[in-house]
Amino acid sequence: AQSVTQLDSHVSVSEGTPVLLRCNYSSSYSPSLFWYVQHPNKGLQLLLKYTSAATLVKGINGFEAEFKKSETSFHLTKPSAHMSDAAEYFCVVSDTWSGNTPLVFGKGTRLSVIA
Amino acid sequence: GAGVSQSPRYKVAKRGQDVALRCDPISGHVSLFWYQQALGQGPEFLTYFQNEAQLDKSGLPSDRFFAERPEGSVSTLKIQRTQQEDSAVYLCASRSTGAGELFFGEGSRLTVL
C-alpha cells in the first residue's frame, strides 16, 4: 500500500527567501506523485505532477519538485517565496496515473510567509 | 460547468439527522471521487464512480454513508444518523477519463452538533 509522510506540519519563511517542503513516499509500484495546494476556503489545486518522465518537475507559480527514487523523496521547492504562497500544501501518491486508484494524501504542511 | 460545484458549502446538523451533499462534476467528466477531510488532516478517500457505476467504496467509514450517481453526472453523498465524528469537509473531484488531472470542488463543510 502506498503512503506519504510530510516531514513538517508547519514551515515559516520570510518573503523572498527559498521554500522547501519535504515529502517522503512509500509505494509498491512505480508511483505517480503530486503536490496540491489548498488556500483557505478554496478547492485543492494541482501544483505539479511526476508520472515517470523527467525527475525534475516544474509546476505553476515557480514551484518545482525532484523525484529521488533512492531517497524515496519528492520535496517541493521555490527559489523565492511570495506572500500569496501562504497556504496548505499536500504531497500525494498514487500507484498509477490512470484508472480508479485513489490518490493518497499526506497530512499537509502549512506554509506561512512573513513580510 | 466551469468547475466542480458542491452544495451546500456549509451544513450544520444535529446529531442523528440525515444529510445529503451534492456534487456537480465538470460536464463530461467520467470519473468522480469523494474524499473526507477532517480538521488539520489531509483528504481521505471515500468512494469512486466511473459514470454511474460505483467501482470502489472501500473508504466509506460505516454503513451510515451512502453515495450514488444514478445518471453518471451529479452525485450525492448521504450520511444517515449523523454523529459528531462525521464533522469534516467533504470534497468531490472529477476527471475526464481514466487518466489525467483530478479537479476538486471547494467542499461541503459539515458540522454535527
The whole-angstrom distance between A68's CA and the closest CA on chain B is 22
Cβ neighbours around A39 below 10 Å, total: 13
Percent of chain B with pLDDT over 90: 86
Per-residue pLDDT tens digits for B69-106: 999 999 999 999 999 999 999 999 998 875 677 899 99
Structure confidence at residue A32 (pLDDT): 86
Q: Stretch A68-87: mean pLDDT, rounded? A: 96
Mean pLDDT over each residue of chain A, to the nearest integer: 91
**B87 exposed, middle or buried (CB, 10 Å; 0-12, 13-18, 19+)?**
middle
- pLDDT attached to residue A43: 85
Q: B4 and B94 in contact (C-beta within 8 Å)?
A: yes
What residues of A are in contact with residue B42 (Cβ under 8 Å)? 90, 105-108
Query: B48 in helix, strand or coil?
Result: strand
Give SS3 for A14. Answer: strand
Average pLDDT over residues B42-60: 93
**Closest chain B residue by Cα to residue A98:** B99
Q: In B, residues 18-77, which contact A (CB 8 Å cutoff)?
A: 31, 33, 35, 40-45, 48, 50, 55-56, 59
Residues 6 or more apart from A109 whose CB is under 8 A from it? A6, A8, A9, A10, A11, A21, A22, A88, A89, A90, A91
Query: What CA–CA distances, in Å, run from A69 to A6, A30, A65, A90?
Result: 16, 9, 13, 19
Residue B80 or residue A101, greater confidence: B80
Ranking A97-101, B61-65, B94-98 by mean pLDDT, the lowest is: A97-101
The nearest CA of chain B is from the CA of A97 a distance in Å of: 6
Q: Which residues contact A41 (CB under 8 A, 6 or more apart)?
A: B106
- Determine phi and psi for A69, rounding to 5 degrees: -65, -40
State which amino acid sits at residue B59: G
Q: What pLDDT does residue B98 have?
A: 59
**B56 has a pLDDT exceeding 70:** yes
Instruction: Give the residue carrying C-alpha cell 527559489.
Output: A79
**How would you classify the pairing of strands A3-6 and B65-68?**
unpaired
pLDDT at A31: 84
Ranges of beta strands (E only) in chain B are 5-7, 10-13, 19-24, 31-37, 44-50, 53-56, 65-68, 75-79, 88-95, 103-104, 108-112
